[in-house]
């Protein structure tokens, strides 16, 4: 089979890559796109050259190559197999994974609905920004020229005032009741920890692109993203990664657990930090999460390579500060990035301990399925590199609905009012930087 070629160029750029990536999303030639930021480097992927999806019927590829694999007991292996069939040299895929994939990771379909569990696209066009330059490629020269023109156009400075949203005005009683029920489950030794979340509905149209720019300028995430994929839109400022795997096989996961508010008051932040690091509840919540992360990497890495680094450091993420640690390792022979992703997904800090019992409690006590919340936005490429951001601190839009969502880690010592306040502190990372939009959504279900 002939390989499909990209036409490529490298140009000098002088603007903020955040602004340029947002311009490509706003004015670019592609209705579907993903912007992904890793370590201060931005990438833009637009248009669908090839499309890979996973649902309860199996894995499908459409576009440059078409194939279908029936559902199996290891569904991510099917995704890997489809990607190896791609007739595209140097491909890189971008996309998202639903939290509900966790219910089917071992092949059991009992708790799966009709949702798309994984959706990746290999883009028609891609732009990667790096130190004053932009690597631009596309499948046709006309689109390449449009992208270059957008990247070299003069900057427009627009004032974007934020919309005020009070995330404390709704959901308190229902959430506190759920926390009480979860603590009862923990006291009965059914599990040790569970993350319970709550949605907050928005009653106005939001400009997600402007929200992404404003929110990113006021957050310091581990990863950030903006996506529009067949009716699903989201802008997020991820506080942690699910997992990151290099082409050489180095693996990193980053459990964050234990939270206090973060403000512009340095003295108050210092007091909150001391409180956080002296709280037996927060330290226990963090410790059991790190233990699970360590055990998960041991299943796919050389045992001697698995270590915990930067144990219980403080990570500042927007409106909150967390206790954070890194668990690292090196893939064992015969293992690859998809094995590492399968070992750690979903992140223990967004599910619970043990995970299977946490899933049951989440299904019982939360009011709706999670979808993208606490799933992942990721990139994966032909070299074997994979990087997956945990989807938290995000705003979502789909089927005419726009909402926020946040959760808190519940353990036996949890107090309902404190856990509710923790969800509010996390929601403020996004809720304070929403930008109103009188226009209809850019990415509709009919696109």
Task: Encode pLDDT of 152-204 as tens digits.
Answer: 988 776 777 888 899 999 999 999 999 999 999 999 999 999 999 999 999 98
The two three-digit tokens of residue 234, written as one number = 């989201």
Q: Is 99 helix (H, G, I), strand (E, B) or coil?
A: helix
pLDDT band at residue 446 under the 50/70/90 scheme: very low
**Percent of the chain predicted with pLDDT > 70:** 97
pLDDT band at residue 401 under the 50/70/90 scheme: very high
Task: Encode pLDDT of 116-157 as tens digits.
Answer: 999 999 999 999 999 899 999 999 999 999 999 999 988 776
Give the contacts of 83 (CB within 8 A, at least 6 positions apart).
52, 91, 93, 120, 380
Contact between 129 and 20 under an 8 Å Cβ cutoff? The reply is: yes
Q: Tell me what the pLDDT averaged over the chain comes to.
A: 94
Expressed in angstroms, the distance from the first to the final Cα of the chain is: 30
Give the contacts of 355 (CB within 8 A, at least 6 positions apart).
102, 292, 346, 348
Q: How many helices (H) and strands (E) does the chain have?
A: 10, 23
What integer is the mean pLDDT of 83-100?
Answer: 95
Q: What pLDDT is recorded for position 64?
A: 82
In this structure, what DSSP letter does residue 167 have? T
Q: Is residue 312 packed enough to be buried (19+ CB in 10 Å), middle (13-18) or exposed (0-12)?
A: middle
Return the H-helix or E-strand segment holding 274.
Answer: helix 266-277
> CA separation (Å) from 140 to 7, 10, 11, 90, 128?
7, 15, 17, 16, 17
Fold of the 162-435 domain: Anthranilate synthase (3.60.120)
pTM above 0.85, yes or no: yes
User: Known catalytic residue: 240?
Assistant: yes
| Helix pair angle (416-431, 172-187), 10° resolution | 130
Distance CA 417, CA 433 (A): 25
> Out of 32, 126, 240, 425, which one is annotated catalytic?
240
pLDDT band at residue 2 under the 50/70/90 scheme: low
Q: Is residue 399 packed enough to be buried (19+ CB in 10 Å), middle (13-18) or exposed (0-12)?
A: exposed
Every domain of the chain and the residues it spans: 7-152, 162-435
């Amino acid at each position: 089979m002939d390989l499909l070629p990209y036409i490529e160029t490298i140009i000098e750029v002088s603007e903020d890559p955040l602004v340029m990536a947002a311009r490509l999303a706003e004015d670019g030639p592609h209705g579907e796109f993903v912007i992904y930021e890793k370590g201060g480097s931005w990438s833009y992927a637009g248009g669908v050259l090839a499309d890979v999806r996973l649902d309860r019927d199996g894995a499908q590829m459409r576009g440059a190559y078409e194939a279908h694999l029936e559902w199996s007991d290891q569904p991510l292996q099917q995704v890997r197999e489809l990607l190896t069939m791609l007739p595209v040299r140097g491909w890189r895929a971008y996309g998202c994974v639903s939290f509900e994939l966790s219910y089917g990771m071992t092949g059991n379909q009992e708790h799966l609905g009709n949702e798309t569990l994984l959706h990746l696209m290999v883009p028609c066009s891609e732009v990667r920004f790096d130190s004053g330059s932009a690597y631009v490629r596309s499948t046709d020269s006309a689109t390449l020229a449009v992208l270059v023109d957008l990247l070299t156009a003069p900057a427009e400075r627009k004032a974007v005032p934020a919309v005020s949203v009070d995330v404390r005005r709704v959901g308190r009683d229902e959430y506190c009741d759920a926390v009480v029920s979860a603590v009862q489950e923990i006291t009965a030794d059914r599990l040790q920890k569970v993350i319970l979340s709550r949605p907050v509905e928005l009653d106005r149209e939001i400009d997600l692109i402007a929200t992404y720019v404003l929110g990113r300028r006021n957050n310091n995430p581990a990863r950030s993203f903006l996506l529009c994929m067949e009716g699903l839109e989201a802008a997020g400022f991820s506080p942690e990664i699910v997992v990151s795997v290099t082409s050489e096989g180095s693996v990193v996961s980053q459990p964050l657990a234990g939270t206090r508010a973060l403000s512009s008051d340095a003295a108050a932040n210092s007091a909150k930090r001391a409180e956080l690091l002296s709280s037996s509840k927060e330290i226990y919540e963090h410790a059991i999460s790190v233990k699970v992360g360590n055990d998960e990497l041991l299943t796919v890495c050389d045992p001697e390579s698995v270590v915990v680094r930067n144990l219980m450091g403080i990570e500042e993420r927007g409106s909150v500060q967390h206790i954070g640690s890194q668990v690292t390792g090196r893939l064992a022979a015969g293992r690859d990035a998809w094995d590492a992703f399968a070992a750690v997904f979903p992140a223990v800090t967004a599910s619970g301990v043990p995970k299977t019992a946490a899933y049951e409690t989440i299904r019982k006590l939360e009011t709706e399925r999670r979808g993208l919340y606490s799933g992942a936005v990721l990139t994966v490429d032909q070299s074997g590199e994979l990087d997956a951001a945990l989807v938290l601190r995000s705003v979502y839009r789909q089927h005419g609905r726009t909402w926020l969502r946040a959760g808190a880690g519940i353990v036996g010592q949890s107090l309902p009012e404190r856990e509710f306040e923790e969800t509010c502190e996390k929601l403020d990372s996004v809720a304070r930087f929403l930008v109103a939009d009188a226009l209809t959504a850019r990415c509709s279900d009919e696109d």
